[in-house]
Amino acid sequence: KQEVTQIPAALSVPEGENLVLNCSFTDSAIYNLQWFRQDPGKGLTSLLLIQSSQREQTSGRLNASLDKSSGRSTLYIAASQPGDSATYLCAVNDSYKLIFGSGTRLLVRP
């Protein structure tokens, strides 16, 4: 059974720092992996999608990498801003369904 783990559970950094969020999964037979942002009490905003054949994807200040064989993905956020404060969720696509991690709660201090 696929299990997705995210570390750290929470992170507090000063504005301007570069940071890395980690995601690991137990079964490497995935179709793709998505990173989402969730603001308190709100829906899920898709940030990046990495196909199983890809190694990384970039969108603005965000860069996500995927190492399928080792069951790991990282989300790199460059030059963090207070507006980046949210929970970041990693989800692996296990044949038309997403299996989510518990998320990393990020606070960027001004």
Q: Which is nearer to other proteins, 69 or 95 (CB)?
A: 95
Amino acid (1-letter code) at residue 105: R
Q: Which residues bind other proteins (CB under 8 A)?
A: 31-32, 34, 36, 41-46, 49, 89, 91, 93, 95-103
* Rounded least distance, CB 20 to other proteins, Å: 21
Which residue, 80 or 89, has its beta carbon nearer to other proteins? 89
CA distances from residue 1 to 33, 34, 40, 100 in whole angstroms, order as listed: 16, 19, 29, 13
- Measured CA to CA, the distance from residue 16 to residue 83 in angstroms comes to 11
- Tokens representing 92 are 């692996």
Q: Which is nearer to other proteins, 70 or 102 (CB)?
A: 102
Residue tagged 């995601």 (tokens) = 23
State the minimum distance, in angstroms, from the CB of residue 32 to other proteins.
7
| Nearest of 49, 57, 61 to residue 17 by alpha carbon | 61
Least Å distance between CB 84 and other proteins? 19
